[in-house]
Amino acid sequence: MSSLPALLVAAPLLGSVLALLAGLVRSETGWPVALVTAAVQVAGAGVLASRAFDGTVSYVVGGFTAPFGIELVVDGLSATIALLVAVVSLAVLAYSRVAGPRTNAFYAVYLLLVAGLTGMSITGDVFNMYVFLEITGLAAYALVASGEGGRSARAALKYLIVGTVGASLFLLGIGYAFVATGTLNMADLSTQLAAVGYTEPLVQAAFALLVVGLFVKVAVFPLHAWQPDAYAGSPDSVSALISALVSTVAAYALIRIVFTVFTVDFLQANPVARSLLVAGAIVSIVFGSVLAVSQTEIKRMLAYSSVSQFGLVVGAVAVANETALIGATVHLVGHAVMKGGLFLTAGLIATATGAQTVDDYEGLIQRLPLGAGAFGLLALAMVGVPPAVGFVGKWYIALGAVEAAAWPLAVVILLSTLLTLAYFARILERMFFRDASGERVAVDGVSPGMTGVVVAAALAAVVLGMLAFEYGQLLEPTVQALLS
């Protein structure tokens, strides 16, 4: 099946339409359709990944050969992200069956988001990437708005406006690059841009626009303002899905744009461009953590934690060596599992006990041992306690920064462990070492699927950490190709 890459995008689109049509026949039929689609997606992404690690898989859409037509290019990095998207969307489905939302429209948009994310991961064409970025964005705005009440709607509106501005900047950047080179294919762009000259104002402006546009999508401080509202305002299953995937795929796009389109030579020719990335990383890590410490609501705290963690990934992009990029990929995957898991656990805890703020978590171990245990495990993984996956990603990134002699960044990365501990230690101490203050609330509305997926996420955070070093070796050829 050589057209597997295209099918990987088409399958969720088809599922999305099916879910909508099924709703006309009978309400609340979206979930099974989504489940089947997501399962197919996991299988497809798995097969594709097993091929992509042997050698880059490419597919020409509609028979128009590159550089004129659209090309789908799958290397180890794209395949990893595509598989991550498929697996996480399947896992969140297990949670959302009981937790809701249950309308068919919701699942139609859910699958549309999966299609957009998968498309972004595997496309080899910048304009095509913009199209998928917009699909992803629009689906995400709609999903955030699917919560009940004004809070979701407000968060979605803010997300919509800020996100659209970000996407427009991205499009402007593509326009500049197109004006400079006359091509949209990534591989072709990289040679053409080199021919135009890396110090041309047109090329530099294109870089600035693309990077700032993606910074908005990744939620780098201070362009993160949409993100805490969106994560905290949406239903639990949506928070988990978008926190695990949307910024992750945007960060993947950043890696693609910086290394495949502009290449390391551009960064070397423009030290300021690298400084821009370093500044974004440092500011995000520090301020994201500090703001996370000052939050009282769990979901907002987790949201600010994401700002800080993506700072690490941006930092790895700025370092631009092999070790750091392996670290960035491991951290992207690890963060998706840990943060998605944390949001689902927070949702589970809120459903079972009503606890939503840091103070509500006092003595949680007595009331809900499983929830508290999973939250504790994921939080420690996020802090970077070995052997969890959070440690491996940070370790590689820190090592990369040291190898590249980027000392300020290395210091901040080491410091980030302490900062992460600062906001999680408060909760750990409350959960495990204090007595419950409130009344015991009867457990209610927690399905086996919800429990199962939370436990699976917690275990995955540890197991992935043990596999991550082998994975890093597997990824080495891809990263070498990216950096050459």
Partner 1 sequence: MEPLVPPFVPVIVAALLLPFLGRKAGHALAAVLTGAVVPYVWLVDAGAHFTEFNLFGFETVIFNVDPFSTLMGLIFAFIGAVGVVYSYYSEAAPLQTAFALSYVASSLGAVFGGDWLTLIFFWELMAVTSTLLVWHYGGKAVRAGFRYAVLHGIGGTLFLGAVIWHFAETGTFLFASVPGGPETAGLAGSVAPVLAALGVGVNVGFVGLHAWLPDTYPRPHIAASVFLCVYTTKTGVYGMYRVFPQDGNVAVAYMGGIMAVFGATMALFQNDMRRLLSYHIQSQVGYMIAGVGIGSALAQAGAFAHVFNHILYKGLLFMTAGVVVYRTGEESLKKLGGLAREMPITAGAFTVAALSIAGFPGFNGFVSKGIVISASHYDFVKGPLAFGDFYTLELLLLLGGVGTFMSFIKFGYYAFFHGEYDGEVRDANRGQSVAMVLVAALCVFYGVFDGALFSLLPFDVTDGAVVSHVYHTYTVTHVVEGVVLAVLGLVGFRLVKKPLSGLGKVPDVDSLYNPGSLYGSRALVVGVTELYARVDDAAVALAELSVRTAKHPDAAIARVTGREEVRTKAGIDRSLLLVLAVLVAALALLLA
Contacting range for partner 1; rule: CB under 8 A; set: 96-104, 202-210, 249-257, 443-451: 202-210
Q: What angle do CA 138, 141, 147 make, to 5 degrees?
A: 145
The DSSP line for 387-419 is TSHHHHHHHHHHHHHHHTT-HHHHHHHHHHHHH
H or E stretch at 60: strand 57-60
The interface mask with partner 1, positions 373-392, x = CB under 8 A, is: ------------xx-----x
| Side chain identity, residue 94 | A
**Residue 257 CB contacts under 8 Å (≥ 6 apart), including other chains:** 126, 210, 211, 214
CB 317 → partner 1: shortest distance, Å? Answer: 15
Which residue among 150, 439, 440, 442 contacts partner 1 (CB under 8 A)? 150
Is 358 among the residues that bind partner 1 (CB under 8 A)?
no
Judged by CB under 8 A, the chain residues 4 through 63 that form the site for partner 1 are: none
* CB nearer to partner 1: pick between 47 and 467: 467
Q: Which stretch binds partner 1 (CB under 8 A): 89-97, 209-217, 235-243, 253-261?
A: 209-217
Are the CB atoms for 300 and 291 separated by under 8 Å? no
Using CA atoms in the order 351, 353, 357, 359, what is the torsion angle rounded to 10 degrees? -170
Helix locations, 1-103, DSSP H: 4-25, 30-52, 76-99
How, if at all, do strands 71-74 and 57-60 pair? antiparallel
Task: Pick the binder of partner 1 from 85, 86, 115, 223 (CB under 8 A).
Answer: 223
What is the rounded distance in angstroms from the CA atom of residue 372 to the CA atom of residue 36? 32
Cα–Cα nearest to 76, from 51, 104, 103, 109: 51
Tell whether residue 291 is a contact of partner 1 (CB under 8 A): yes
For partner 1, the closer of residues 215 and 343 by Cβ is 215
Q: For residue 327, what are its two tokens?
A: 């670290």
Query: With binding defined as CB under 8 A, does residue 275 bind partner 1?
Result: yes
Nearer to partner 1, 204 or 306 (CB): 204
- Binding range to partner 1, per CB under 8 A, among 26-34, 41-49, 184-192, 397-405: 397-405
Using the contact rule CB under 8 A, the part of the chain among 76-84, 135-143, 268-276, 365-373 near partner 1 is: 268-276
Q: Does 133 bind partner 1 (CB under 8 A)?
A: no
Binding segment for partner 1 (CB under 8 A), chosen from 45-53, 64-72, 78-86, 159-167, is: 159-167
Cα 463 to its chain centre, rounded Å, is 20
193 near partner 1, judged by CB under 8 A: no
Kindly report the number of other CB atoms within 10 A of residue 127's CB atom. 16
Residue 433 as a binder of partner 1 (CB under 8 A): the answer is: yes
SS3 220: coil
Residue 273: CB minimum distance to partner 1, A: 6
Residue 229 makes contact with partner 1 by CB under 8 A: yes
Smallest gap from Cβ 482 to partner 1, in A, equals 20
Rounding to the nearest 10 degrees, give the CA dihedral for residues 138, 142, 145, 146: -160
Q: Which of 136, 183, 243, 270 binds partner 1 (CB under 8 A)?
A: 270
Nearer to partner 1, 46 or 363 (CB): 363
Is 226 one of the binding residues for partner 1 (CB under 8 A)? yes
Query: Any idea what the Cα angle at residue 460 is, between residues 132 and 384, rounded to 5°?
Result: 95
Out of 21, 36, 43, 414, the residue judged to bind partner 1 by CB under 8 A: 414
**Residue 201: exposure state from Cβ atoms within 10 A (0-12, 13-18, ≥19):** exposed
In the region spanning residues 169 to 188, those forming contacts with partner 1, defined by CB under 8 A, are: 169
Instruction: Work out the number of other CB atoms within 10 angstroms of the CB of residue 10.
Output: 14
- Number of residues located near partner 1, criterion CB under 8 A: 55
Q: Which residues contact partner 1 by CB under 8 A?
A: 149-150, 153-154, 157-158, 161-162, 165-166, 169, 201, 204-205, 207-209, 211-212, 215-216, 222-223, 225-226, 229, 270, 272-273, 275-276, 287, 290-291, 293-294, 385-386, 392, 395, 398-399, 402-403, 414, 417-418, 421, 425, 429, 432-433, 469, 472-473
